[in-house]
Amino acid sequence: MSGKLQVGLLYGGRSGEHEVSVRSARSVAAALDRGRFDLVPIGLDRSGGWHCMPGGALPDAVAVAAGQGAAVVPVGDSGACRLVGDAGETVQRIDVVFPVLHGPFGEDGTIQGLFEVLGVPYVGAGVLGSAVAMDKDIQKRLMRDAGVPIVPFVTLRSDEWRDDPQAARRRIGELGDRVFVKPANLGSSVGISKVDAPAQLDAALDTAFRYDSKAVVEKAVDAREIECAVLGNRDPKASLPGEIEPGEEFYSYDDKYSAESTARLLIPAPLTAAETAEIQQLAVRCFEILDLRGMARVDFFLERGSGRLYLNEPNTIPGFTSISMYPKLWEASGVPYPELVSRLIELALEWHQARPVAVD
């Protein structure tokens, strides 16, 4: 083994964002400074099984699906972790984990809890921040109580919808006819539907409940979609904001990731100096309210006509594909992709080293 830090790049996983995660991981792997770090690709299959891929190999969706690589389980080992094979042998030592597991079982505090138990440094938010930011319902409640502007919303559980659909329709009806229906715990626009008339609501809710037992229904606003990247631990900084001009009616999964997408990313966003400052300040404030660290992309709505700014949502493991906003925003702000990846690893190590150590 070299004297370089062994970076475990964790990707794939059980969520509906499996493919996006693999694409993000390929971009991170390509940007990793091999002069400082050794890449250890760790693919999680759709059943949650861990596979240590050949050293230095770029992540591949087919390889993960086929269960290639050595089947391993992680074991804590004095501030790092070991990947142990079926016969109990150590396959690989990991010094720091870089998770790019978007969505449930990766961005929701579950895998972060495992890293905490193992005692290994990891990139991104901790258990609490990850869990709260992932749940659109809980996150919106906290933001509302903190005085952060959000659009009106209703939360609905699948059993409420099943047991009394008429009551559910009445509650949602208070938001108006035009709404967005979203699974409460998912990203990349998976399972999201735009509803322009009450007749479309049932199908939209059925779609959301395919992915989560809880749905968030938001009042639709005529707004520009603005995103801002945040980087840091105790003194986080915000990037220049960017704007998304969807190629479809809204910024859907296909619009984000399809090769045929006609969506446009405007970086930096065409904003006044005052609007830029307000967005950056609110992005950092949201980051701090949720007790985040490392990284987050904070998304906003800028209402046309009124100019009102609303928080849409924070993302604690934002997309890292070659066309994703988070790295592009930092590149426009003077931090190239390879430097960004290195900085995120440094922030993970910094946080881990500064954490209090319990004593008897």
pLDDT tens digits, residue range 21-63? 999 999 999 999 999 999 999 999 999 999 999 876 778 877 7
Sign of the alpha-carbon dihedral angle for 133, 138, 144, 150: positive
The phi and psi torsions of 64 (rounded to 5 degrees) equal -65, -45
359 assigned to some structural domain: no
Residues 270 and 138 in one domain: yes
Catalytic residue among 14, 23, 293, 297: 297
Which CATH number do you get for residue 196? 3.30.1490.20
Lowest-confidence region among 38-42, 259-263, 326-330:
259-263
Q: Are residues 38 and 78 in the same domain?
A: yes
CB-based contact 316:134 (threshold 8 Å): yes
More confident residue, 140 or 246: 140
pLDDT for 3 = 83
Give yes or no for residue 251 having a pLDDT over 70: no
Pair of tokens at residue 181:
């229906």
Statement: residue 204 has pLDDT above 70: yes
Give the residue-averaged pLDDT of 199-217: 94
Mean pLDDT check: name the lowest of 104-118, 185-199, 211-225, 334-348: 185-199
To the query of whether residue 312 is one of the catalytic residues in this protein, the response is no
245 part of the active site: no
| Cα-based distances in Å from 213 to 13, 40, 161, 265, 282 | 19, 35, 10, 33, 30
233 is a catalytic site residue:
no
Q: How far is CA 151 from CA 88, 143, 209, 216, in A?
A: 52, 11, 21, 11
Give one word for 103, left, alpha or beta, with left for phi > 0 and alpha for psi -120 to 50. Answer: left
Based on the domain organization, do 181 and 142 belong to the same domain?
no
Residue 215 phi, psi dihedral angles, 5° rounding: -120, 150
| Confidence check: pLDDT of 312 > 70 | yes
Q: Calculate what percentage of the chain has a pLDDT beyond 90.
A: 78
Q: Which of 203-207, 262-266, 350-354 has the lowest mean pLDDT?
A: 262-266
Across the range 70-87, mean pLDDT stands at 92
Instruction: Say yes or no: 252 and 317 in one domain.
Output: yes
Is 350 one of the annotated active-site residues of the chain?
no
Which CATH number is 82's domain given? 3.40.50.20
Q: Is the pLDDT of residue 259 over 60?
A: no
User: 227 and 174, same structural domain?
Assistant: no
The single residue of 108, 313, 333, 337 carrying the catalytic annotation is: 313
Name the more confident of 188 and 286.
286
pLDDT bin (cut points 50, 70, 90) of residue 258 is low
Do 251 and 141 belong together in one domain? yes
Task: Name the pLDDT band for 248 (thresholds 50, 70, 90).
Answer: low
Domain assignment present for residue 93? The answer is yes
Per-residue pLDDT at 218 exceeds 60: yes
From start to end of 223-274, where are the E strands? Answer: 223-232, 237-238, 242-245, 264-266
Q: Assess contact for 130 and 107: CB atoms under 8 A.
A: yes
The helix or strand, by DSSP H or E, that contains position 353, with its residue range, turns out to be helix 337-354
Q: Measured between alpha carbons, how far is residue 304 from residues 22, 222, 273, 283 in Å?
A: 36, 6, 17, 20
Do 104 and 23 lie in a common domain? yes
Give the pLDDT score at 249: 63
17 in catalytic set:
yes
Whole-number average pLDDT of the chain: 91
State the pLDDT at residue 304.
95
- Whether 1 has a pLDDT exceeding 60, the answer reads no
Bigger pLDDT: 108 vs 186: 108
Single out the residue in 219, 235, 257 at which a domain terminates: 219
Residue 360 lies in a domain: no
Residues 99 and 52 in one domain: yes
> Catalytic pick from 253, 299, 310, 326?
299
Question: Known catalytic residue: 169?
Answer: no
User: Last residue of some domain: 219, 248, 271?
Assistant: 219
- The reply to whether 315 belongs to the active site is yes
| Residue 249 or residue 116, greater confidence | 116
CA–CA dist 157, 195 (Å, integer) = 18
Write the CATH number for 255. Answer: 3.30.470.20
**263 occurs within a structural domain:** yes
C-alpha–C-alpha distance, residues 15 and 136, integer Å? 16
pLDDT category of residue 260 using cuts at 50, 70 and 90: low
> 40 with 345: CB under 8 angstroms?
no
| Pair 114, 162 in one domain | no
DSSP assigned state of 90:
E
* pLDDT value of position 104: 84
140 and 244 inside one domain = yes
Catalytic (active site) residue 249:
no
**How many domains in the chain?**
3
- From the list 11, 211, 253, 257, the catalytic residue is 257
pLDDT of residue 293: 97
The amino acid at residue 170 is: R
Local confidence band at 263 (pLDDT 50, 70, 90 cut-offs):
confident
List the structure tokens of 248. Answer: 């479809």
Annotated catalytic residue: which of 188, 239, 324, 333? 188
Confirm if 38 and 6 have CB atoms less than 8 A apart. Answer: yes
| Residues in CB range of 89: below 8 A, 6 or more apart | none
pLDDT bucket at 188, cuts 50 / 70 / 90: low
Instruction: Please indicate, yes or no, if residue 127 is contained in any of the structural domains.
Output: no
Reported confidence tier of residue 68, pLDDT bands at 50, 70, 90: confident
Contact predicate 212/185, CB 8 Å: yes
Q: Which of 338, 289, 267, 308 is nearest to 146 (CA)?
A: 289
CA nearest to 335, candidates 225, 232, 227, 226: 232
Q: Please report the DSSP string for 150-202 in residue order.
A: B--EEEEEHHHHHH-HHHHHHHHHTT-S-EEEEETT--TTTT-EEESSGGGHH
- Domain endpoint, select from 219, 250, 274: 219
Average pLDDT over residues 56-81: 83
Q: Do 65 and 88 belong together in one domain?
A: yes
Tokens of 217: 């229904």
Residue among 8, 11, 17, 103 flagged as catalytic: 17
The answer to whether 93 touches 135, Cβ cutoff 8 Å, is no
**Domain around 71:** 5-122
- Integer-rounded Cα Rg, in Å, for the chain is 20
Of 199 and 190, more confident: 199
- Residue among 319, 326, 333, 342 flagged as catalytic: 319
- Is the distance from CB of 21 to CB of 12 less than 8 angstroms? yes
Q: Looking at the domain assignment, is residue 320 inside a domain?
A: yes
70 and 178 housed in the same domain:
no
